[in-house]
Amino acid sequence: MTPPDTLQFSYRALRAYPGRTALILLAMCIGVAAIILLTSLGEGARLYVISQFQGLGSNLLIVLPGRSETTGGAPPLLGTTPRDLTLDDAIALYRSPAIKEVAPIIVGAAPVAYGSLEREVTIMGSTPALLSARQLTLASGQSLPDTNPRVAAAVCLLGETVWKELFASRNALGEWVRIGQTRYRVIGVLAGKGQSLGMDMSDMVIIPVASARNLFNAPSLFRIIVTAQGQEQLAQARRDVETIIRQRHDGEDDITVIAQDSLIGTFDNILSALTWALGGIAAISLVVAGILIMNVMLVAVSQRKAEIGLLKALGAPTTQVLRLFLTEATLLASAGGFIGLLLGLGGVFALNQLLTDFSVQPPWWAVIASVVVTFLTGLLFGSIPARQAARLDPVAALSGR
């Protein structure tokens, strides 16, 4: 029997039992569509997070107080709390030639009032370097004064949301708002940037770092964002940050420096694992579909015993009977997989129409894997019924026993 004839014969057999065929196609199809959709969501999440990080700029180091790595050895007898990062620490970093800008940050919350309107808003104390480091742009007005960061000034920049709520989108430049007990003059309004790493950059007010220190009565910094001169100087900048702070902190390594690409790498790993896990969960449905194929094929074999007996009587060798039933199973699985692939890609397309700022796309490996896996599923789960068919005793099979 030639391969085209085998294919034709199997195809006709599948056509002869439309209900059964449709059932298996549906099962395979759901399995593959689930794999495509779930991995697409995972991949979409991964790409989304990476793009969010890249929105931060690529030459950044984030300096946090305290050591995040655990060190070996016994814990100190006397508890040592990490030294705080101070504004002077931040200013000292400018000594490094590899560092371009330093943005010290103090974060807190305070009521902001204009006229009769008042609301609790996140206040960020920093320097003009913050705007370039976080790639914030001004919709109107000017940035914070680029003077000595130790000097407080009663000026502020409003985030877009705060401006809209307090000023109902009217001109705010030159107006005075009250933050806590102090009045600040609005000198600029930020262009909307939206969410960045879970922090709504449009729903905050930026004031000079020294003013924030006074406002919150706290000398320590939340963190420092360091911008290196370039990508190549990032490693040097990191070493300089560590050296300078160690010198200032009596030889203690009590800060953590995070490079943005290592952050991306971590999230990339986590979200890739998530995508694989989602794919794995969806793959279970393929296994279930495979078992369904096996069951339905076993029923088919017992229903078509007489036909199998006849084929043997007509001189079909055992291997030919095996091939016929394997072809049926793989044909079913592959067709179901193909329809599922189309359905999954259709679902991805529909999701992309619904979600505007979140792009869903199937990872290439999921597309290839789902096609290969469906084929193998057919082959694997079809082999048991096919072998059973091939082994049937022709005399018993012909009499339907």
Distance of CA 289 to the CA centre of its chain: 29
Q: Out of 236, 272, 320, 388, which residue is the one contacting another protein (CB under 8 A)?
A: 320
Residue 383, token pair as written in the block: 């082999």
Angle in degrees, CA 141, 144, 146, rounded to 5? 125
Residue with tokens 């599948």: 14
Q: Does residue 303 belong to the site contacting another protein (CB under 8 A)?
A: no
Distance of CA 384 to the CA centre of its chain: 41
Task: Tell me the three state secondary structure of residue 299.
Answer: helix
CB of 373 to another protein, least distance (A): 30
Binding region for another protein (CB under 8 A) out of 259-267, 285-293, 306-314, 328-336? 306-314
Q: Does residue 307 belong to the site contacting another protein (CB under 8 A)?
A: yes
Distance in angstroms (rounded) separating the CA atoms of residues 267 and 46: 8
Q: Out of 318, 350, 368, 401, which residue is the one contacting another protein (CB under 8 A)?
A: 318
Distance in angstroms (rounded) separating the CA atoms of residues 302 and 306: 9
Contact in structure between 65 and 220 (CB atoms under 8 Å): yes
- Number of residues lying near another protein (CB under 8 A): 25
Q: Does residue 311 belong to the site contacting another protein (CB under 8 A)?
A: yes
Q: Out of 146, 315, 353, 357, which residue is the one contacting another protein (CB under 8 A)?
A: 315
Contact in structure between 52 and 357 (CB atoms under 8 Å): no
Q: Out of 82, 145, 180, 394, which residue is the one contacting another protein (CB under 8 A)?
A: 394
- Judged by beta carbon, residue 9 or residue 48, the one nearer another protein is 9
- Judged by beta carbon, residue 5 or residue 232, the one nearer another protein is 5
Distance in angstroms (rounded) separating the CA atoms of residues 283 and 271: 18
CB of 45 to another protein, least distance (A): 49
Binding region for another protein (CB under 8 A) out of 189-197, 249-257, 295-303, 305-313? 305-313
As to burial, measured by CB atoms within 10 angstroms (0-12 exposed, 13-18 middle, 19+ buried), residue 241 is: buried
Contact partners, residue 388, CB within 8 Å, separation at least 6: 298, 301
- The CA-to-CA distance between both ends of the chain, in Å, stands at 27
- Judged by beta carbon, residue 255 or residue 390, the one nearer another protein is 390
Q: Which of residues 1-30 bind another protein (CB under 8 A)?
A: 1-2, 5, 9, 12-13, 15-16
Q: Does residue 395 belong to the site contacting another protein (CB under 8 A)?
A: yes
Residues lying near another protein in the complex (CB under 8 A): 1-2, 5, 9, 12-13, 15-16, 306-307, 309-320, 394-395, 398
